[in-house]
């Protein structure tokens, strides 16, 4: 008989998103699903999207964040959803089908882009993962850094503050030619 998997849940700064901590590796790279169609490569995300209130699933290294629609409350959903995630894992069902491609270090990255990615990967992404989110580099153009906000960060009321006061300040301190940081 497989051992029970302890799935804990906690609120995030985004009131529509809750973080389920698993305590064991789930994915080698974070991945976000915005619809059931996107979730085709994740049996776990597909199962969660089976609920009509689901607006998004983000799978991190050892956690899953789920974003719900406003018409339903977490006090009704969190406990059963933690049970569903635990059962899925206890049965040995896959979280993801196949590995993700890592494009974090492209051969044509400039020294500035490499420094931006280094700061994001070593300092910023681990911090936002604690809140169930992720921030991913998109591009650097005309001294502006473009980022994707994922998981709990996507749609979070405090994401603008995090982006401008946290990430932009840190990147501008390290690379003064950066004019601004924007979310895509």
Which residues of the chain are in CATH 3.30.300.130 domains?
Answer: 111-183
Q: At the topology level of CATH, where does 111-183 sit?
A: GMP Synthetase; Chain A, domain 3 (3.30.300)
Q: Is 49 helix (H, G, I), strand (E, B) or coil?
A: coil
- Rounded-to-integer distance, Cα 109 and Cα 91, Å: 42
- Tell me how far the alpha carbon of residue 10 is from its chain's centroid: 15
Give the model's confidence band at 157: pLDDT under 50 very low, under 70 low, under 90 confident, else very high. Answer: confident
What pLDDT, on a 0 to 100 scale, did the predictor assign at position 8? 96
Residue entry with tokens 């933690």: 82
Q: Where are the alpha helices (DSSP H) in the chain?
A: 43-48, 74-90, 111-119, 125-129, 159-161, 169-174
DSSP state of 14: S
Chain region(s) in the chain for CATH 3.30.1370.70: 8-90
Q: CATH for 8-90? A: 3.30.1370.70
State the average pLDDT over residues 142-169: 86
CB burial string 71-98: b at 16+ within 10 A, e below: eeebeebbeebbebbbebbeeeeebbee
Q: Name the strands in the sheet holding 17-21, side by side, starting at the edge strand that comes first in the sequence.
A: 8-11, 17-21, 63-68, 54-59, 31-33
95-145: pLDDT as tens digits: 998 765 555 556 668 999 999 999 998 888 888 888 888 888 999 999 999
For residue 181, give Cα distances in angstroms to 70, 123, 161: 29, 16, 12
pLDDT at 102: 53
pLDDT in tens, 7-51: 999 999 999 999 999 988 998 889 999 999 999 999 999 999 999
15: burial class by Cβ within 10 Å (0-12, 13-18, 19+)?
Answer: middle
More confident residue, 158 or 107: 158
Is the overall model pTM greater than 0.85, yes or no? Answer: no
């Amino acid at each position: 008989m497989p051992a029970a998997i302890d799935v804990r849940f906690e609120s995030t700064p985004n009131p529509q998103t809750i973080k389920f901590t698993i305590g064991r590796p789930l994915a080698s790279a974070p991945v976000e699903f915005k619809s059931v169609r996107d979730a085709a490569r994740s049996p776990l995300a597909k199962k969660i999207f089976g609920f009509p209130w689901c607006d998004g699933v983000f799978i991190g290294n050892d956690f899953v964040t789920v974003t719900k629609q406003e018409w339903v409350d977490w006090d009704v959903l969190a406990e059963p959803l933690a049970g569903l995630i635990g059962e899925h894992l206890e049965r040995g069902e896959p979280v993801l089908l196949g590995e993700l491609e890592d494009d974090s270090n492209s051969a044509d990255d400039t020294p500035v882009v490499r420094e931006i990615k280094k700061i994001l990967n070593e300092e910023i992404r681990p911090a936002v993962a604690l809140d169930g989110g992720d921030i991913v580099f998109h591009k650097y153009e005309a001294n502006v850094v473009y980022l994707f906000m994922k998981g709990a960060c996507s749609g979070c009321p405090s994401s603008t503050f995090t982006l401008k006061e946290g990430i932009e300040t840190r990147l501008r301190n390290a690379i003064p030619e950066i004019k601004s940081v924007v979310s895509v």
